[in-house]
């Protein structure tokens, strides 16, 4: 579960929607028992972390008894059989028009063993669903049969690309081309033919929703339901260079009016579609190639520019991007005089905190392969932040040119980037370079490194970091656990480079009945990621959260209950160990109904040791309770 500053606490997602607490009215009250200074050291916190971890293990044992009492659930298998989709190769590709009367669809082997994840885990789907697949030398084709006994009640309103798919009926496909059980391509369609695509990394820990792949889909709605044809060119995907391919694949259908979610494989409530370690397999692919896709995107602009002293000058710009698929698993991108004129402007944000604002990347060149460069040091600190390149104080700095290489080779995810910017006003011509490597280890884990450099004629800055992540879905046979850490050090010319380290460790158990999260991070005062981002410096942060979500079978109208006994955010300065803020939340009761309503009763406490002056006559109080 994600979290942000307590001024706008993010509680998670329900039915795909962000959930925030209701508007809270502060009651002015000081708490004298939280005015002391904290002299906790790192050793004490590591002991606390391990205590919390082992305590959570005991809670899992207790949960075994509780879930029997509260849910009366029987043990059910988590894998449908068969778990393979067998492909058929065809010479003539089907016409992508939503009409599944093509001869190839009548001969292909279809799957129909879908199972409910929601509302009734383990039950058969209430509306028949089938999927078939064929391929040609150039692309992969899917036929989807979404039968519906009441097609007039299908909820589908969106038509735009990258629509909010969680709000209506849809069908989703995820493809793990490397069968690495970690990463995938997600494709979504709705009954109107609207499309969405997302690059998934680390089983949903990272999502690049700005990626727009080359693929197509068509849908027809009849009195029997809605039916779709989808084509994905092999040139859109990056996959191993092998004669015979075996890919991971999974499917999900959402029948929104029934709040019903069905999946082909991995339909346990502890799992999600993005968790490709529970996907089935796509077999039968032979002799395919991504080809040597060459995509050229030139541009030219002309206009006039008037300066403040009324001088007018003619402005002409030209340049473009070149995308080239070197092999089926490596892609090269080139850019020259990159044009950002058509990029959507940043959404305005009001900053009432002492810390920097994070703006998302919207420039096309930096969006593709974004996940290949991700390196998080926890709580708003990143070793690489692409908006440092070509933007200064939200103003454009011209980019002369650059090159990027992304892909995967021998279990190693590769991301390499080098960009040269031009001189503008007081900004010198500067080179930005990044190398990010992640090596797959074990079934779902990795070790990695990153190096970034920023060099101009009079200064240089670099970051060197390592990280690891362990993930398994076999804790207590079928539960999820993740833990890992990262550390980075900065080097800057002209600085002492002493207190210049940032690091974090984390533990997460994202499961349906019990969810536990813990994170501990440190950013020293001289840590300086000039090609990265940090919201604040000179702090230590500890976060932990525990939530129980039983599903009582004796209340047929209730989806689940929620109890949150622990939710703590704790900040103190790194150099003096002085307390900066504490935030806690207690949820004695929350529940959701099967019709989609959610109700919460939260007690939230925030304590800060500083006064935050916004304007001369307004002051945020140090301490408040929210109910």
434's enclosing H/E stretch is strand 430-441
> Which residues on adjacent β-strands are paired with residue 547?
515
Q: For residues 508 and 1, what is the distance between their CA atoms, to the nearest angstrom?
A: 9
363 and 469 part of one domain: yes
The gap from C-alpha 206 to its chain's centroid, in whole angstroms, comes to 3
What residue numbers bound the domain in which 88 lies?
77-286
587 and 459 part of one domain: no
Last residue of one domain, picked from the residues 537, 569, 584: 537
231 and 205 part of one domain: yes
**So what's the pLDDT on residue 61?**
43
- pLDDT surpassing 60 at residue 23: no
Q: Does residue 366 sit within a domain?
A: yes
- pLDDT surpassing 70 at residue 93: yes
Q: Does residue 13 sit within a domain?
A: no
Q: Does residue 542 sit within a domain?
A: no
Q: Specify whether the CB–CB gap between 548 and 562 falls below 8 A.
A: yes
568 and 457 part of one domain: no
What is the CATH number for 128? 2.60.40.1190
Q: Does residue 532 sit within a domain?
A: yes
**How would you classify the pairing of strands 381-382 and 533-534?**
antiparallel
Q: Does residue 544 sit within a domain?
A: no
60 and 168 part of one domain: no
66 and 111 part of one domain: no
Q: Does residue 543 sit within a domain?
A: no
**So what's the pLDDT on residue 49?**
40
267 and 306 part of one domain: no
Number of domains in the chain: 3
Strands (E), 549-597: 558-573, 579-593
Task: Please tell me the least confidently modeled range out of 79-88, 107-116, 137-146.
Answer: 79-88
Candidates 264, 282, 274, 281; CA nearest to 200 is: 274
156 and 56 part of one domain: no
Q: Specify whether the CB–CB gap between 130 and 142 falls below 8 A.
A: no
% of the chain with per-residue pLDDT over 90: 50
398 and 469 part of one domain: yes
Dihedral (Cα; 307, 308, 311, 316), 10-degree rounding: 0
Task: Please tell me the least confidently modeled range out of 172-181, 336-345, 372-381, 568-577.
Answer: 336-345
Name the more confident of 131 and 476. Answer: 131
Question: Would you give the DSSP letter of residue 103?
Answer: H
The mean of the pLDDT values for the chain is 82
Last residue of one domain, picked from the residues 513, 537, 561: 537
For 31, 541, 576, 582, 605, the CA distances from 34, given in Å and listed in that order, are 6, 17, 18, 9, 11
- Model confidence at 149, pLDDT cuts 50, 70, 90, reads very high
204 and 336 part of one domain: no
Question: Which region holds residue 537: left if phi is over 0, alpha if psi is between -120 and 50, else beta?
Answer: beta
172 and 224 part of one domain: yes
Name the more confident of 339 and 493. Answer: 493
Question: Which region holds residue 510: left if phi is over 0, alpha if psi is between -120 and 50, else beta?
Answer: beta
Q: For residues 315 and 242, what is the distance between their CA atoms, to the nearest angstrom?
A: 50
CA quadruple 351, 354, 360, 366: dihedral positive or negative?
A: positive
160 and 270 part of one domain: yes
**Mean pLDDT across 102-124:** 92
The gap from C-alpha 428 to its chain's centroid, in whole angstroms, comes to 35
Q: Does residue 3 sit within a domain?
A: no
Candidates 427, 570, 474, 546; CA nearest to 38 is: 570
Longest dimension (CA), the chain: 80
Candidates 160, 212, 175, 165; CA nearest to 370 is: 212
Structure tokens at 415: 């991301």
Question: Would you give the DSSP letter of residue 346?
Answer: P
> Which residues on adjacent β-strands are paired with residue 322?
296, 334
Interacting residues of 311 by C-beta distance below 8 A, sequence separation 6+? none
Q: Does residue 557 sit within a domain?
A: yes
**Mean pLDDT across 507-516:** 94
Residue appearing with tokens 């016409």: 95
- Model confidence at 28, pLDDT cuts 50, 70, 90, reads very low
59's enclosing H/E stretch is helix 42-71
48's enclosing H/E stretch is helix 42-71
Residue ranges in 146-255 assigned as alpha helix (H): none
**Mean pLDDT across 164-186:** 93
Last residue of one domain, picked from the residues 537, 562, 597: 537
**So what's the pLDDT on residue 81?**
54
**So what's the pLDDT on residue 309?**
63
């Amino acid at each position: 579960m994600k979290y942000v500053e307590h001024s706008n606490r993010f509680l998670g997602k329900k039915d795909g929607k962000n959930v925030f607490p209701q508007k809270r009215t502060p009651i002015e009250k000081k708490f004298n028992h939280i005015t002391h200074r904290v002299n906790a050291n790192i050793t004490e916190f590591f002991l606390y972390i391990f205590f919390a971890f082992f305590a959570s293990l005991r809670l899992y044992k207790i949960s075994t008894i509780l879930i029997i009492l509260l849910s009366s659930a029987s043990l059910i298998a988590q894998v449908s059989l068969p778990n393979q989709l067998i492909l058929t190769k065809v010479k003539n590709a089907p016409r992508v028009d939503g009409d599944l009367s093509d001869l190839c669809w009548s001969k292909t082997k279809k799957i129909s063993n879908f199972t409910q994840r929601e509302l009734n885990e383990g039950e058969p789907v209430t509306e028949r669903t089938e999927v078939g697949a064929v391929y040609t030398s150039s692309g992969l084709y899917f036929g989807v049969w979404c039968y519906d006994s009441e097609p007039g009640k299908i909820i589908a309103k969106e038509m735009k690309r990258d629509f909010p798919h969680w709000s209506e009926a849809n069908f989703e496909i995820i493809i793990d081309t490397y069968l690495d059980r970690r990463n995938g391509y997600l494709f979504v369609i709705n009954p109107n033919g609207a499309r969405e695509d997302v690059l998934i990394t680390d089983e949903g820990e990272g999502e690049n929703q700005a990626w727009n792949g080359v693929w197509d889909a068509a849908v027809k709605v009849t009195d029997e339901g809605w039916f779709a044809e989808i084509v994905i060119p092999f040139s859109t995907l990056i996959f191993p260079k092998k004669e015979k391919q075996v890919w991971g694949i999974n499917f999900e259908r959402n029948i929104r009016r029934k709040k019903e979610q069905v999946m082909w494989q991995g339909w346990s409530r502890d799992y999600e579609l993005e968790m490709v370690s529970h996907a089935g397999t796509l077999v039968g692919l032979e002799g395919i190639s991504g080809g040597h896709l060459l995509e050229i995107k030139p541009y030219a602009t002309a206009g006039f520019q008037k300066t403040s002293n009324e001088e007018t000058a003619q402005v002409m710009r030209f340049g473009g991007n070149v995308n080239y698929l070197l092999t089926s698993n490596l892609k090269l991108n080139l850019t020259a005089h990159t044009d950002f004129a058509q990029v959507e402007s940043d959404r305005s944000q009001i900053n009432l905190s002492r810390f920097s604002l994070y703006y998302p990347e919207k420039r096309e060149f930096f969006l593709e392969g974004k996940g290949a460069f991700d390196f998080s040091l926890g709580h708003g600190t990143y070793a690489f932040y692409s908006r440092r390149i070509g933007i200064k104080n939200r103003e454009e700095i011209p980019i002369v040119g650059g090159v990027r290489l992304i892909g995967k080779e021998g279990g190693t995810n590769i991301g390499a980037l080098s960009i040269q910017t031009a001189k503008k006003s007081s900004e010198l011509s500067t080179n930005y370079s990044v190398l990010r490597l992640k090596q797959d280890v074990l079934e779902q884990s990795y070790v990695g490194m990153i190096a970034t450099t920023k060099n101009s004629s009079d200064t240089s800055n670099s970051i060197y970091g390592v990280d690891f992540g362990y993930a398994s879905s076999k804790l207590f046979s079928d539960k999820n656990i993740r833990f890992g850490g990262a550390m980075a050090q900065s080097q800057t010319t002209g600085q002492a480079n002493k207190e210049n380290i940032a690091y974090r460790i984390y533990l997460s158990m994202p499961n349906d009945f019990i969810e536990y999260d813990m994170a501990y991070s440190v950013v020293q005062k001289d840590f300086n990621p000039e090609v990265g981002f940090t919201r604040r410096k000179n702090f230590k942060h500890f976060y932990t959260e525990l939530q129980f979500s039983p599903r009582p079978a004796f209340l047929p109208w209730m989806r689940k209950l929620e109890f949150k006994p622990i939710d703590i955010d704790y900040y103190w300065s790194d150099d003096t160990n002085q307390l900066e803020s504490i935030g806690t939340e207690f949820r004695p009761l929350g529940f959701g109904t099967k019709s989609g309503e959610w109700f919460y009763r939260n007690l939230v406490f925030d304590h800060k040791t500083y006064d935050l002056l916004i304007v001369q006559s307004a002051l945020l109080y140090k301490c408040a309770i929210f109910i």
